[in-house]
Amino acid sequence: MSESNTPNPSNPLSLVAGDMRQVDAVIARRLSSSVPLIGEVSHYIISAGGKRLRPALLLLVAGALEYRGEQHFNLAAVVEFIHTATLLHDDVVDESTMRRGKPTANESFGNAASVLVGDFLHSRAFQMMVDADSMRVMQILSEATNIIAEGEVQQLINTHNVDLDEAGYLSVIRSKTAKLFEASARLAAVLTEAPAALEEACANYGRSLGTAFQVIDDALDYDGDTTVMGKNIGDDLREGKVTLPLIIAMQRANADDRQMIVDAIEQGSTPHMAHIVQVVKDTGSLEATRAAAALQAQEAIDCLALLPRNAYTDALTTLASQLLARRE
């Protein structure tokens, strides 16, 4: 790795803090545009906070595999641009007004600006992919971008669908969320020209980690700290999204409570939100959801057995473990 990183055992991302500053420099440079609004909207959402898990994952895996070049900075920025573009489009589709405690870009700049700047970030990301001069890198990122889009469309189709089961739910989040985690980890392996089995282990780690991340995120929608998350409890239900806590609650609730949840999903109306949240808790749905996330996190950790044992691999293990304690 090209910049010194000081590890903090309680914060696995501290190991790549110096590298993330390099990525931030790439992001700042590649956001430049002759159109001022593009820079304004892009900087607004990129500077809004968050752990930047996807680019950090790429950097951690590159460190674990002892990568010595600098292309990982460029590709980490590409991953962040693709993710940011997705957020911009998601907030328009969901009609969201708050993200991480701040007004969303669409709330501040309008839907049209958000969609178009999202398009700019996608196209800029593809320009940057070319810099890697690798058809394999292009294949991984173009496939990931396409699958993410498919996942977003499938989630839209699933809106207000009370018959969605756990398999259908997992299929969507593996496309919509986990795919970019998977691509991030795989890219690091490709940069180091890792053997096929090692590349697959890295990709599988990313996919399982991303799945665990989203499952926990969906649990927090019914059990999180609103001041920490920067959004309200029950926002997913208000948008008609059927997530694992609701799927399990509908399986376990009595007939009256199940019907109340069904009506809320189908109508997109939540006058009984407090009661629904209590049903989710009383049926043990949150514990079951967290258990499902724990299974995915353990699968991620198991994938690390093929990687060299070093501080970066230890950080990847800690990262998966700490997901289960997320409160934001």
Start-end of H helices in the chain:
17-30, 36-46, 53-64, 71-93, 105-109, 111-130, 135-158, 166-173, 179-191, 196-223, 226-229, 235-238, 244-252, 255-267, 273-282, 285-303, 311-323
Cα–Cα separations (whole angstroms), residue 120 to 15, 45, 89:
31, 14, 12
Spatial CB neighbours of 320, under 8 Å, sequence gap ≥ 6: 205, 208, 209, 212, 297, 298, 300, 301
Cα 272 to Cα 260: distance, rounded to the nearest angstrom: 8
Q: Give the residue with greater pLDDT, 212 vs 327.
A: 212
Predicted confidence (pLDDT) at residue 97 exceeds the cutoff of 60: yes
Q: Domain range spanning residue 48?
A: 12-323
Virtual torsion, Cα 75, 76, 80, 83, nearest 10 deg: 70
Q: Residue 1 — pLDDT band, cuts 50, 70, 90?
A: very low
Mean pLDDT of the chain: 91
Residue 79 lies in a domain: yes
pTM of the model: 0.92
Token output for 313:
């691999």
Residue 153 lies in a domain: yes
Residue 99 lies in a domain: yes
Residue 7 lies in a domain: no
Residue 243 lies in a domain: yes
Bridge partners, 282 (sequence order): none
CB 105 within 8 A of CB 85: no
Residue 328 lies in a domain: no
Residue 287 lies in a domain: yes
Q: Residue 64 — pLDDT band, cuts 50, 70, 90?
A: very high
Give the phi and the psi of residue 8 in degrees, each rounded to 5.
-125, 110
CATH number at residue 116: 1.10.600.10
Token output for 170:
């997992």
Start-end of H helices in 110-178:
111-130, 135-158, 166-173
pLDDT tens profile 205-256: 999 999 999 999 999 999 866 555 455 677 888 888 999 999 999 999 999 9
Token output for 201:
């282990």
% of the chain beyond a pLDDT of 70 = 94
Q: Give the residue with greater pLDDT, 272 vs 62.
A: 62
Number of domains in the chain: 1
% of the chain beyond a pLDDT of 90 = 74
Residue 288 lies in a domain: yes
